[in-house]
Amino acid sequence: MLHDIEVTVNAQAYTMTIEPHRSLLWALRNQLGLVGAKEGCDDSECGACMVLVDGQLVNSCSYLAVQVAGRDVTTIEGLAQLPDMHPIQQAFLAEGGVQCGFCTPGMIMAAKALLDRNPDPDDEAIRRGLAGNLCRCTGYQKIIRAVKVAAQTRQKG
Amino acid sequence: MTVHRYFAPESEAELASLIGRHDDVVLVAGGTDRVVSTRRGQKPLAGTLISLDRVSGLRGLSVGDDGSLVVGALTTHADIEASPTVVDSWTALADGSALIGSPATRNTGTVAGNIMNASPAMDLGSPLLVHGAEVELRSSGGRRQVPFGELVVGPGKTTAQASEYAAAVHVPAPAPGTGSAYVRLQYRRAMEIAVVGAAALIVLDDGIVSEARVALTAVGPTCLDVREATDVLVGQALSADRLDAAAAAAEDVARPISDARADAEYRQALVGTIARRAITFAAERARGRAVPVPASEVKPITNGGGA
């Protein structure tokens, strides 16, 4: 059984025809070709699939695609204003907060959700904000520093 | 089994009528448990899938005229954790919600989802038990309120009828001098499930315990009410000796199993310690001393906190 939904993704309107059991992650990657959000564990443990729905951080692998009907989704592809990267992306690059890169889209979306709520987080708040994101290259120190730098850049800007 | 019909009702009347009309209904709120367990093949999304996320009026926290807390079924753990009202007066609930998953999990996971999935490790179960909460079930035929302990009766099992949905949780007003806390044994600070958990509610009247409830999480098929803890604590100051007796009562009630997270023996060995921490933190809060939420992340008080 297929279901039609209308959704806004990265400020662009889409109509999707989708089976109700499909996850938002599956729909983004396979129907819209937005492959920035990653399937790591497919179990909502690792955070590589994180996106924002109506500004709220969610694991898109355990969020039903049909439930985003009429809502506003932001993925990692929606952050950059080309040719410029988003300040959080710039900070991850500058601070070496990226190793293999697989966890990065989720880390950056979690960082965005955190900084939108708390523009000046301390280390503890950053750790809590990224608590649902795993990096298997063990790069947490640099990731935390990158979020700090992004916060400082934002406050200056 | 595949999904044959999908509905996203916007009103409770529409929801009740849909549930009444179909006999193969699966309700999904935030989906954090359900979607994952479906993919693992544990719980199929059945013929009629009904999403609750658009039903209006089911999300939010309010305090009734009688001072009781009403938690709408679709209230998220992030809503509870961020509510000064809950943190002040029903603190164990905030302790529980603040521990669930990660920020993303708490943004989508709901109170009704936590309850109706009926996991023995549910972090809201013991807090709801010690606060004497009732769950309001509604259907097209009417409504009823069921004490939490009579609703959740086994792993994944509730006494709700197929035609009913959870609409709200009602938590009585705490007496003056109440403190409550929920603490769990966990191996890491995020994306964790309780290995052993305990909640306590303590009411102090001039230094004497006038009311006490203790409940345990993840050491039985449901969250367990430690009734004997009430008997050993009420009517006296909270001395080391009374704490020992309450911890022993908790150990008597626990009947843990072995699973991926811990052996039964290990869980049993930790029950007394975790129960003691919950009681101690609850008493600290009853004395008006600040214990940050979630209490699980606060260094345990080892001397009982002093009288």
Share of chain B above pLDDT 70, in %: 98
CA distance A70 to chain B (A): 10
User: Predicted confidence band at B1 (pLDDT cuts at 50, 70, 90)?
Assistant: low
Nearest by CB to B103, which of A43, A63, A131?
Answer: A131
User: Predicted confidence band at B303 (pLDDT cuts at 50, 70, 90)?
Assistant: low
Between these two residues, B306 and A93, which has the higher pLDDT value?
A93
Q: How far apart (Å, rounded) are the C-alpha atoms in residues B95 and B116?
A: 19
Chain A positions touching chain B (beta carbons under 8 Å): 1, 3, 19-21, 23, 42-45, 47, 50, 56-59, 61-64, 66-67, 69, 110, 113-114, 128-129, 131-133
Give A69-79 pLDDT, tens digit per residue: 999 999 999 99
Give B176-235 pLDDT, tens digit per residue: 999 999 999 999 888 999 999 999 999 999 999 999 999 999 999 999 999 999 999 999
Size of the A and B interface in Cβ pairs below 8 Å: 86
Chain-chain contact of A23 with B35 (C-beta, under 8 angstroms): yes
User: Predicted confidence band at B4 (pLDDT cuts at 50, 70, 90)?
Assistant: confident
Chain-chain contact of B35 with A63 (C-beta, under 8 angstroms): yes
Chain-chain contact of B35 with A128 (C-beta, under 8 angstroms): no
pLDDT of residue B307: 41
CA distance A80 to chain B (A): 22
Q: How far apart (Å, rounded) are the C-alpha atoms in residues B52 and A67?
A: 9
pLDDT of residue B11: 97
CA distance A58 to chain B (A): 4
Average pLDDT of chain B to the nearest whole number: 95
User: Predicted confidence band at B299 (pLDDT cuts at 50, 70, 90)?
Assistant: confident
Nearest by CB to B31, which of A1, A47, A67?
Answer: A67
pLDDT at B51 over 90: yes
Task: Retrieve residue B281's tokens.
Answer: 């933190």
pLDDT at B237 over 90: yes
pLDDT at B43 over 80: no
Average pLDDT of chain A to the nearest whole number: 95
Residue pair B275/B230 in contact by the 8 Å Cβ criterion: no
pLDDT of residue B301: 73
pLDDT of residue B189: 86
Other beta carbons less than 10 A from residue B265's beta carbon: 10
Q: Is the ipTM of this complex over 0.90?
A: yes
Q: How far apart (Å, rounded) are the C-alpha atoms in residues B194 and B206?
A: 34
**DSSP 3-state of A120:** coil
Nearest by CB to B3, which of A19, A23, A56?
Answer: A19
Nearest by CB to B31, which of A42, A64, A110?
Answer: A64
User: Predicted confidence band at B306 (pLDDT cuts at 50, 70, 90)?
Assistant: very low
* Residue B82 touches partner A, C-beta closer than 8 Å: no
Residues of A in contact with B2 (CB under 8 A): 1, 19, 21
User: Predicted confidence band at B37 (pLDDT cuts at 50, 70, 90)?
Assistant: confident
Which residues are within 8 A (CB) of A111 and not within 5 positions of it... i.e. 6 or more apart?
A88, A126, A129, A130, A146, A147, A150
Dmax (CA) for chain B in angstroms is 61
Which chain B residue has its CA at the smallest distance from A42's CA? B36
Short-list B149, B266, B168, CA closest to B215: B149
